[in-house]
Structure 1
Amino acid sequence: MLATERHGRILEHVQKKKTVTVAELSRLLDVSEVTVRKDLIKLEQEGLLSRVHGGASVAHFLPLERSFTEKQGERVEEKARIARQALAHIQPGDTLILGAGTTTMELAKLLGQIPDLTIVTNAVNIAMELNSHGAHHVILIGGEMRAKSFALVGPVAEDNLKKLSVSKCFIGADGIHEHDGLSTLSLAEGKANRIMMERSRKVYVLADHTKFGETHFSSFADLSDVDRIVTDRLDEQTLATFRELGVKIELAEGQEDKE
Structure 2
Amino acid sequence: MLATERHSKILENVNKEKTVTVAELSKLLDVSEVTIRKDLIKLEQEGLLSRVHGGASIAGFLPLERSFTEKQTERMEEKARIARQALLHVQPGDTLILGAGTTTMELAKLLGQVAELTVVTNAVNIAMELNSHGVHQVILIGGEMRAKSFAVVGAVAEDNLKKLSVYKCFIGADGIHEKDGFSTLSLAESHVNRIMMERARKVYVLADHTKFGESHFSSFADLSAVDRIITDRLDAQMQASFLDLGVKIEVAQG
Fold in common (TM above 0.5)? yes
2:151: which partner in 1?
151
1:69: which partner in 2?
69
- Asked if the contact 1:115–1:136 (Cα under 8 Å) also holds between the matched residues in 2, the reply is yes
1:132: which partner in 2?
132
Q: Partner of 1:58: helix, strand, or coil?
A: strand
> Gaps (5+ residues) in structure 1?
1-9, 25-46, 50-56, 255-259
What CA deviation, in whole Å up to 9, does each residue of 1:190-232 have, x standing for no partner? 0000000000000000000000000000000000000000000
2:183: which partner in 1?
183
- Letter in structure 2 aligned against 1:20: L
RMSD over aligned CA atoms reads: 1.9
1:11: which partner in 2?
21
> Gaps (5+ residues) in structure 2?
1-19, 31-50
2:222: which partner in 1?
222
Residue correspondence of structure 1 range 199-214 to structure 2 within 5 A: 199-214=199-214
Quote the Cα distance in structure 1 between the aligned partners of 2:245 and 2:62.
27
Residue correspondence of structure 1 range 104-119 to structure 2 within 5 A: 104-119=104-119
1:84: which partner in 2?
84
Quote the Cα distance in structure 2 between the aligned partners of 1:74 and 1:144.
26
**Aligned pair 1:93/2:103, yes or no?**
no
Q: Number of residue pairs matched?
A: 212
Quote the Cα distance in structure 2 between the aligned partners of 1:58 and 1:242.
22
Residue correspondence of structure 1 range 24-35 to structure 2 within 5 A: none
What CA deviation, in whole Å up to 9, does each residue of 1:159-211 have, x standing for no partner? 00000000000000000001000000000000000000000000000000000
Quote the Cα distance in structure 2 between the aligned partners of 1:12 and 1:142.
38
- Asked if the contact 1:62–1:216 (Cα under 8 Å) also holds between the matched residues in 2, the reply is no
How far apart are 1:11 and its partner, in Å? 2.8
Q: Partner of 1:238: helix, strand, or coil?
A: helix
1:235: which partner in 2?
235
Q: Partner of 1:20: helix, strand, or coil?
A: helix
- Asked if the contact 1:230–1:251 (Cα under 8 Å) also holds between the matched residues in 2, the reply is yes
Paired residue for 2:56, among 52, 55, 58?
A: 58
How far apart are 1:48 and its partner, in Å? 7.1
How far apart are 1:59 and its partner, in Å? 1.2
- Asked if the contact 1:48–1:64 (Cα under 8 Å) also holds between the matched residues in 2, the reply is no
Quote the Cα distance in structure 1 between the aligned partners of 2:153 and 2:56.
31
Quote the Cα distance in structure 2 between the aligned partners of 1:234 and 1:73.
21
Q: Partner of 2:161: helix, strand, or coil?
A: helix
- Letter in structure 1 aligned against 2:211: K
Q: Partner of 1:233: helix, strand, or coil?
A: coil
Runs (4+) of structure 1 exceeding 6 A deviation are: none
- Letter in structure 2 aligned against 1:11: T
- Asked if the contact 2:52–2:215 (Cα under 8 Å) also holds between the matched residues in 1, the reply is no
Quote the Cα distance in structure 2 between the aligned partners of 1:183 and 1:65.
13
How far apart are 1:62 and its partner, in Å? 2.6
- Letter in structure 2 aligned against 1:59: S
**Aligned pair 1:20/2:28, yes or no?**
yes
How far apart are 1:12 and its partner, in Å? 3.9
Q: Partner of 2:21: helix, strand, or coil?
A: helix
Quote the Cα distance in structure 1 between the aligned partners of 2:177 and 2:206.
14
How far apart are 1:13 and its partner, in Å? 1.0
1:163: which partner in 2?
163
Q: Partner of 1:147: helix, strand, or coil?
A: coil
